[in-house]
Amino acid sequence: MDENYSIQDSVRVLNSSFIKTHVPMTRAIGLMEMAFRILSEESAYIPNRVVVSSPDDSMSIFFKPAFMSQYNRMSIKILTQLHINSNQYIPTIKGMVLLIDMLSGRILSISDGIYITALRTGAASGLATSYLANQDASEVAIFGCGAQGGTQLEAVLAVRKINRVLLFDSSINQAVKLSKAIGLLNNIECEINPDLTALKNVDIICTATPSKKPLFSLKHLKPGVHINAIGSYRTDMQELHPDIFRVCKIYLDDAPVCLKQSGDLTIPLRTGIIKIENIAGEIGELIAGSIPGRMNHDDITLFKSVGNAVQDFFIANEAYDKSILQESAQVINLSE
Q: Is the pLDDT of residue 37 over 70?
A: yes
Q: Is the pLDDT of residue 93 over 90?
A: no
- pLDDT computed for residue 85 by the predictor: 62
H or E element in which residue 318 lies: helix 309-323
Alpha helix positions (H), 217-308: 242-247, 255-261, 263-270, 283-288
Work out the end-to-end distance of the chain between its first and last CA atoms, rounded to an integer number of angstroms: 12
Can you say whether residue 206 is alpha, beta or left, with left for phi > 0 and alpha for psi between -120 and 50 degrees? beta
Regarding beta strands 248-252 and 226-229, do their DSSP bridges make them parallel or antiparallel, or are they unpaired?
unpaired
Task: For residue 329, give the nearest of 120, 68, 102, 108 by alpha carbon.
Answer: 108
Q: Is the pLDDT of residue 122 over 70?
A: yes
At 215-239, the pLDDT tens digits run 999 999 999 999 999 998 888 889 9
Please, which residues have CB within 8 angstroms of residue 174's CB and are 6 or more apart in sequence?
A: 145, 146, 149
- pLDDT computed for residue 146 by the predictor: 87
Q: Which domains are seen in the chain, by residue range? A: 7-116+310-333 (3.30.1780.10), 134-307 (3.40.50.720)
Q: Is the pLDDT of residue 58 over 90?
A: no
- pLDDT computed for residue 5 by the predictor: 42
Query: Using an 8 Å Cβ cutoff, are 278 and 245 in contact?
Result: yes
Q: Is the C-alpha dihedral spanning 93, 183, 301, 42 positive or negative?
A: negative
**Range name among 94-108, 170-184, 202-216 with the lowest pLDDT average:** 170-184
Can you say whether residue 150 is alpha, beta or left, with left for phi > 0 and alpha for psi between -120 and 50 degrees? alpha
